[in-house]
Structure 1
Amino acid sequence: MPEVDSKGPVENRCYTLTHSDFTGKLFLSVGLNFDKKAISGLYTRLMRDEVLAEWLKDKNDYSLHIYCHVSGGIILGTAGWRDSIFRRELPLVLKCFCKGDKALFDANPKLGDSPIFVHFNSSKTKYKKVEQWGTPKDYL
């Protein structure tokens, strides 16, 4: 993955969070692109339980965008079931992103006040939503 360090860059900084159903361990990759290797395995492509995130800049302000795949394509589980799991685990996921890149927030304290937008991606209108989930300071 292209290099990033604790200070930046912030814009287009990407996070890929995966986990092992066998060990329960979480794995976070940080780079200038999403970690395609981490999400390209057959099991991961079927489960689609990875969570992606990226920093986007609008004029002078940054926002952190989180992407959860609720439904669409060939995946295991109904949209309602997957939506409830993502929502239940989202506080832990947001802590992983924020604490896993804490050095970035230490080097750029203003980022702690940036809004977090969670994109629940779904082929079903009922579950396709974008919601604000606080700021990184809420999860550090």
Structure 2
Amino acid sequence: MSTFYPDKLSVEYLDGTAAANPVIPRRYTLTHSDLTGELFLNIGIHYALDKINPLRDEVLGEWKQYGGFFCFYVYLYVDQGEQTLSVSAKRNEIFRRELPLALTAIRYGDRFLFNKYPHLDQASLIIQFMSAYPQFAKQENWGTFQRFTTKI
């Protein structure tokens, strides 16, 4: 996993979303620059579709509520259009390696929400790896955000 540097994270609140509300709907679009290592987190009631690039290497997330319990869903596009099995395998490997950094960035970037609603740190993280290849198309529970807090 890459190291998280808070000074490399830019956060932008979009369309009716503020630092500590609402919880639902609340959607996250996390993109990055390969050149600078900067991370860009957009938080809104909709995904920041204008930030999504053709490579589809962004991390999308949203809060969902079931009864009185919250879950955080993450969507990762392992395939980028028509590509070979080996390319999908490499992208799957990269997503898995870098996902802890992405989750740490989301948790840190939305820390004001977590400060207001500390129970969100206990919400299950459900990761949806989306792929046309069955060996990569998986849904996994990655624990809770508590694993991805940073003391900075």
Residue 70 of structure 1 pairs with residue 70 of structure 2: no
1:48 alignment partner in structure 2: 56
TM-score for both structures, normalised by structure 2: 0.84
* 1:23 aligned residue: 36
Look up the SS of the partner of 1:80 in the other structure: helix
> Mind listing any 5+ residue stretches in structure 2 that lack a counterpart?
1-13
| 2:131 is aligned with 1:137 | no
Please list every run of 5 or more consecutive structure 1 residues that lacks an aligned counterpart in the other structure.
Answer: none
**Mapping for residues 85-96 of structure 1, pairs under 5 Å:** 85-96=94-105
Map 1:24-39; keep pairs closer than 5 Å: 24-39=37-52
- Given that 1:6 and 1:107 are in contact with CA atoms closer than 8 Å, whether structure 2 keeps it comes out as no
Percent identical: 37
Cα gap change, 1:12 to 1:74, in 2 (>3 Å): farther
Q: Tell me, what secondary structure is at the counterpart of 1:78?
A: helix
How many angstroms does 1:12 deviate by?
Answer: 2.1
Once superposed, what is the RMSD of the aligned Cα atoms? 1.5
SS at match of 1:130: strand
Q: What is the TM-score when the length of structure 1 is the normalising length?
A: 0.91
Number of residue pairs matched by the alignment: 135
Deviations 1:74-132 (A, max 9, x none): 46971110000000001100001101100000000111100000110001111000101
From 81, 84, 100, the equivalent of 2:90 is 81
Distance 1:26 1:75 in 2: 26
Residue type of the alignment partner of 1:132? N
